[in-house]
Structure 1
Amino acid sequence: MTQAQSFSSTIFRRKPVVGARAPGQAADEPHLKRSIGTFQLTFFGVGATVGTGIFIVIPEAISMSGPAVILSFLIAGIAAGLAAICYAEMASAVPVSGSSYSYAYATMGEVVAVGIGACLMLEYGVSAAATSIGWGQYLNELINNLFGWSIPNELTAAPWGVDDPGWINLPSVILVVMCGLLLIRGASESALVNTIMVSIKIGVLLLFAAVCFTAFTSSHFSPFMPEGMAGVTSAAAVIFFTFIGLDAVSTAGDEVRNPQKAMPRAIVGALIVVVSIYLLTAVASIGAQAWTEFSPDDEASLSRLANSVTGSTWVGDIIALGAVISIFSVTLVVIYGQTRILFAMGRDGLLPKTFAQVSPKTMVPVNNTVIVCGVIALLGGFVPIDALWDLVSVGTLAAFITVSIGVVILRRTMPDLPRPFKVPGYPVTPVLSVAACVWILSGLAPVTFLFFGLWVAAALLFYFLWGRRHSKLNTGPASSADEVSQ
């Protein structure tokens, strides 16, 4: 074997999946406690998805596309749905933590898995920071409505903001710290709290829709597409990052009871709930207020819209409280997903050992939680929110594309691999999933791809300088696609 062949075979080596353990994981390696059921896992997906796109992004999306934001939600939902179906098959065939990182490792090789891991770290880290920033907006609205005073701008705005900069976004930092403390207590406790918060947020959004429909005006939907198809695509790209919650479901593979059945059911179930709520809220919002009155800079827009419709503040107070709870759950689950991806990479030897360490008492990766929350708190406290959205979308889309391609590869290389769930309409469905994601990518600004490319390049440089030499596969037989087994 030549040196070039040896290098190529090393960086593209694939890892087997044995039973429900992680790729290459021995029985005595660090592992997590299986304590999450199907219902809680479904609410993980809903919790990480419903919130940001409704409470924070919807005014920006409406201002970009007008009433046709309904099409934007549909396009993003269809693209996410196609990818979700592919996730469901991969989750049933490769039921481990790590999400699309682990799926890429089993189908495309180590170097691709590292690149996808970088995408996920960007996707989850930036998403958590962005949602924590939006949390402060609704918290301020709620405090103002209840007590008549607001947190000073110096403590609610990043110092580098273009408009009215402050010192630090303190509510963002506080939220991240609270999520970190809850996650350190344990996965089952976090899942229970998330389930309660998701139930509350669904009830609040149904109340919001009911209030808005009392002021429904059909003329608000004409003209339907004032910004043309370009506006629809741009809005869909902005909205799409909120579907990160579907990926978050697949980060819990090592902590789910009966993951081969529970994970596909949770992914599909979360998708149905999320798309239904998104469409209902979008229609209700535009029906109650002309699209030209929505602004990208409008803070706590749903709360103020509810107040405008009712002529009082009590509904707006409930909406603001629901948003505070809702965005808390989004941030909680996204941080959870980030820590589990780092755990999987650390266990595989592609990150330092500290990322694979698990608390013997709570059976959770405490080190990961502290590190992740520290980084996210810095982003949320000091970086303006408008600088974060598109970076999340490009990371999410890259992960979705990888999973869709992985389904095709695994079908070809391991046709007899047990799959409790199979993609309907194969191979058309994964191909359409890739095409839809590429189309949405076209709506992102070129500068987004520049920053994204620099981030992935830095991750790959780390891999070639450190990760490749420390990979767990260096101590065992390198595997190929035909070694993937159950």
Structure 2
Amino acid sequence: MKNPVTFSQRLLRRKPINFLVQETQQGGKTLKRSLTLFQLTMFGVGATIGTGIFFVLSEQVPVAGPAVLISFILAGITAGLTALCYAELSSMIPASGSSYSYAYATLGEGVAFLVAACLILEYGVSAAAVAIGWSEYLNNLIHNVFGVHLPNWLLSAPFVADGYKLHLGGTGLINLPAAILVFLCCMLLMRGVTESARINAVMVLIKLCVLILFISIAATAFNAEHLTPFSPHGFAGISAAAGSIFFTFIGLDAVSTAGEEVENPRRNLPLAIISALFVVIIFYILVALTALGAQEQGLFKGQQAGLAVILQEITGSTWPAIILAAGAVISVFSITLVVLYGQTRILFAMSRDGLAPKIFHRVSTQTLTPNANTLIVAVIVSIIAGFVPADVLWDLTSMGTLIAFTVVSIGVLVLRYRMPDAPRGFKVPFFPALPVLSICACLYLISSLSAIVYVIAAIWAVIAATYYFSCASKNSVLEAGSEAYSHQNGDDHQ
């Protein structure tokens, strides 16, 4: 008779890297390797550019003033440090699950489950927040083309944030366009990852062309006086904005969730992560700089579909605003698509490990995609998008992203010392200084987030811990050793 598994053994047991790799090579329950380097890079760019630039200026310019440019740079440097850590771990562990899988291999099941809970929160609320912003640009597009506005009750959440609390008092009943967008993305993902990736790549290229148009036109109206005072709220404002803006770099994590569906993952995953970050930072800085130069900083507060409004004011014509709003509608669709994709792949990996219900691991025999998983995620995210205000969702996404990024950087440190000779397609330079800097930068940005985010995150952590100790830990494929693990990976196909 085997000795019972102790509390500490459950928390600290690690999933061997060779198990993680073998899972991606087994038939029956694996996902299809079909993503190219270009498609994967577009996944990263698609899940990142737009989330911040199309919406976040109206939220963060009032917080930091024109110094929001420094906020973007600070968030970008932090993301860059972490991107290199992601590149190393993704080249070692080319599996679905992103930082959850990395944590499982390095820090143990307890930390991995906590990271997974953060990722579920991160991706779910991010998709909802982006969908809310999409409805703003859709309304702007309809107004410019047809001369009518959608009714406010159809575009706004019934809840508002007040300090530590969420309560009724919003101006609408439901954000219906946001909920509809989530289900449209769900339908596309259920058709197959290859088709989704191709459509996403096209939408991302459209997005970049639209932003180049904005940069070109806004630069003609650049007024340096609009940048003064540059930092009206000091470094506290810059830090607060940087913490909120950081959610816009979720695309880097989204790239690593595709580890099981990319061709030549040890080479293409690191290249895609670094390439996506490079493209993102260039566009973020150029768009933010030209927008701030073209419009007085006081006008950003509460401005909906802000970039489209700026173009309309500069040109005195509706056609540039129509093009930008249409581009935003298309491109934000791609953001929601990729973020929902990342959410489903994390749940897929957890389910395969026995830490989430089996339904999240069932794969369609026709499309080789987790369709039931995708539908469940779409229902939950659409409810959040329809009824919760966007400002709360931005910071919640940043919290989840920063925790995940911190764990990835710790994972690099652990594996370098524990498995120094393991094959790596990429190695972080300036080790161990760079991972340590990444950890410190992430923790600093976490400290700048709003109070209500800590309250909601703490409640979520308690719920996750309760589920782990009461159910998930006992169903883990590692609970009964490798024999149970081998058996678990042979019988769950839809």
* Superposition TM-score, scaled by structure 1 size: 0.95
SS across alignment from 1:363 = coil
Cα distance in structure 2, aligned partners of 1:80 and 1:26 = 31
Which letter does structure 1 place at the counterpart of 2:9?
Answer: S
Deviations 1:20-60 (A, max 9, x none): 736x6782562100010111000000000011101111121
Q: Structure 1 unaligned segments of length 5 or more: list them.
A: 480-486
Deviates more, 1:189-198 or 1:62-71: 62-71
Q: Which residue of 2 aligns with 1:118?
A: 117
Cα distance in structure 2, aligned partners of 1:164 and 1:383 = 9
Cα distance in structure 2, aligned partners of 1:147 and 1:303 = 16
Counting only pairs closer than 5 Å after superposition, residues 77-226 of structure 1 correspond to structure 2 as: 77-161=76-160, 165-226=171-232
Which letter does structure 2 place at the counterpart of 1:113?
Answer: A
Aligned counterpart for 1:289 among listed residues 295, 298, 310:
295
Q: Which residue of 1 aligns with 2:15?
A: 15
CA contact (8 A) 1:103 1:403 kept: yes
Cα distance in structure 1, aligned partners of 2:149 and 2:84 = 44
User: Identity of counterpart residues, as a percentage?
Assistant: 53
Q: Which residue of 2 aligns with 1:263?
A: 269
Cα distance in structure 2, aligned partners of 1:293 and 1:325 = 25
Cα distance in structure 2, aligned partners of 1:328 and 1:179 = 7
CA contact (8 A) 1:184 1:366 kept: yes
Q: Which residue of 2 aligns with 1:453?
A: 458
SS across alignment from 1:121 = helix
Aligned counterpart for 2:348 among listed residues 343, 350, 362:
343
Cα distance in structure 2, aligned partners of 1:182 and 1:81 = 31
SS across alignment from 2:369 = coil
Using the TM superposition, give the Cα deviation of residue 352 of structure 1 relative to its aligned residue in structure 2, in angstroms: 1.2
SS across alignment from 1:165 = coil
Deviations 1:197-226 (A, max 9, x none): 000000000100100011111122222211
Cα distance in structure 2, aligned partners of 1:350 and 1:92 = 24
Using the TM superposition, give the Cα deviation of residue 164 of structure 1 relative to its aligned residue in structure 2, in angstroms: 5.5
Which letter does structure 1 place at the counterpart of 2:232?
Answer: P
SS across alignment from 2:478 = helix
Cα distance in structure 2, aligned partners of 1:20 and 1:95 = 8
Q: Which residue of 2 aligns with 1:391?
A: 396
Q: For the aligned residues, what is the CA RMSD?
A: 1.8
Counting only pairs closer than 5 Å after superposition, residues 52-71 of structure 1 correspond to structure 2 as: 52-71=51-70
Deviations 1:407-464 (A, max 9, x none): 0000010001100100011111000001111111121123311211211221121111
Q: Which residue of 2 aligns with 1:434?
A: 439
Q: Which residue of 2 aligns with 1:463?
A: 468
Which letter does structure 1 place at the counterpart of 2:256?
Answer: S
Deviates more, 1:185-194 or 1:453-462: 453-462
Counting only pairs closer than 5 Å after superposition, residues 270-309 of structure 1 correspond to structure 2 as: 270-295=276-301, 297-309=302-314
Deviates more, 1:432-441 or 1:337-346: 432-441
* Superposition TM-score, scaled by structure 2 size: 0.94
Number of matched pairs = 476
Which letter does structure 2 place at the counterpart of 1:455?
Answer: W
Which letter does structure 1 place at the counterpart of 2:79?
Answer: A
SS across alignment from 1:126 = helix
CA contact (8 A) 1:13 1:478 kept: no
Which letter does structure 2 place at the counterpart of 1:371?
Answer: I
Cα distance in structure 2, aligned partners of 1:472 and 1:323 = 43
Aligned counterpart for 1:409 among listed residues 407, 414, 417:
414
CA contact (8 A) 2:24 2:260 kept: no
SS across alignment from 2:6 = helix
Q: Which residue of 1 aligns with 2:6?
A: 6
Using the TM superposition, give the Cα deviation of residue 61 of structure 1 relative to its aligned residue in structure 2, in angstroms: 1.3
Cα distance in structure 2, aligned partners of 1:128 and 1:179 = 10
